Amino acid sequence: MEPIGPVPRIVAKLGRLARRGLSLRLLPIPGLRSELDERLFQRLVVGVVAFGFAALGVIAAVAVWAVLQNQNYSARVSRTYEVSQEISEFRMLSERAETARRGLLLTGQKRFLDIYNQSTQQFDQRLARIALLTRDNPAQQKRVARLRELTQLQLSLFADAVDQVGRGDRLQAAREFGINSSPEVTFALRDMAIAMTAEENRLLAVRDAERVASARFVYIAFSIAGVIMLLVGAGSVWVILRYTRDLTRSRDQLHNLNEGLEDAVSVRTADLARANDEIQRFAYIVSHDLRSPLVNVMGFTSELQAATGPLNDLVARAKAEAPQILTVEAEEAVAVDLPEAIGFIRSSTQKMDRLINAILRLSREGRRVLTPETLDMAVLLDGIVASLRHRIDDLGAEVIIETHVPGIISDRVAVEQVLSNLIENAIKYLSPNRPGRVIVRGSAAAGRVNFDVIDNGRGIDPKDHERIFELFRRSGVQDQPGEGIGLAHVRALAYRLGGLITCDSTLDQGATFRLSLPTKIGADQD
The residues, ordered by sequence, that sit 6+ positions from 200 with a Cβ below 8 Å of its Cβ are: 80, 83, 84, 87, 140
Q: What is the pLDDT of residue 399?
A: 94
Mean pLDDT computed over 133-146: 83
| Other Cβ atoms closer than 10 A to 247 | 12
Distance separating alpha carbons of residues 193 and 84, to the nearest angstrom: 9
Helices (H), strands (E): how many in the chain? 15, 7
Mean pLDDT computed over 256-281: 66
Distance separating alpha carbons of residues 329 and 331, to the nearest angstrom: 5
Model confidence, pTM: 0.42
Mean pLDDT computed over 278-288: 63
CA distances from 14 to 7, 8, 260, 261, 268 (A): 11, 10, 13, 10, 11
Q: Give 55-76 pLDDT, tens digit per residue.
A: 767 777 777 777 777 777 777 7
Distance separating alpha carbons of residues 238 and 30, to the nearest angstrom: 16
Mean of the per-residue pLDDT values of the chain: 76
The residues, ordered by sequence, that sit 6+ positions from 522 with a Cβ below 8 Å of its Cβ are: 372
Per-residue DSSP letters for 479-503?
-S---S-HHHHHHHHHHHTT-EEEE
Burial of 121 (0-12, 13-18, 19+ CB in 10 A): exposed
Show the DSSP H helices in 429-476 as ranges: none
Checking if the pLDDT of 10 tops 60, the result is: no
Which segments within 187-344 are labelled E, that is strand? none
Checking if the pLDDT of 511 tops 50, the result is: yes
Q: Which residues of 279-305 are buried (b: 16+ CB within 10 A; e: fewer)?
A: ebeebbeebeebbeebeeebeebeebe
Listed range (95-99, 341-345, 514-518) with the worst mean pLDDT? 95-99
| Other Cβ atoms closer than 10 A to 103 | 16
Q: What is the pLDDT of residue 158?
A: 72
Mean pLDDT computed over 95-115: 74
Q: Predicted confidence band at 516 (pLDDT cuts at 50, 70, 90)?
A: very high
Distance separating alpha carbons of residues 227 and 52, to the nearest angstrom: 11
Q: Give 24-53 pLDDT, tens digit per residue.
A: 334 444 444 444 556 676 676 677 667 777
In a 13 Å sphere around the CA of 440, the CA atoms on its Cβ side amount to 25
Distance separating alpha carbons of residues 255 and 509, to the nearest angstrom: 55
Q: What is the pLDDT of residue 281?
A: 65
Q: At what angle do helices 486-496 and 338-367 cross, to 10 degrees?
A: 10
Question: How many Å separate Cα 38 from the centre of its chain?
Answer: 47
Q: What angle do CA 391, 392, 398 make, to 5 degrees?
A: 175
Checking if the pLDDT of 437 tops 90, the result is: yes
Report yes or no: 158 and 186 within 8 Å, Cβ to Cβ: no
Q: What is the pLDDT of residue 25?
A: 38
The residues, ordered by sequence, that sit 6+ positions from 254 with a Cβ below 8 Å of its Cβ are: 22
Distance separating alpha carbons of residues 372 and 410, to the nearest angstrom: 4
Report yes or no: 440 and 403 within 8 Å, Cβ to Cβ: no
Mean pLDDT computed over 111-133: 79
Mean pLDDT computed over 215-242: 76
Listed range (327-331, 364-368, 513-517) with the worst mean pLDDT? 364-368
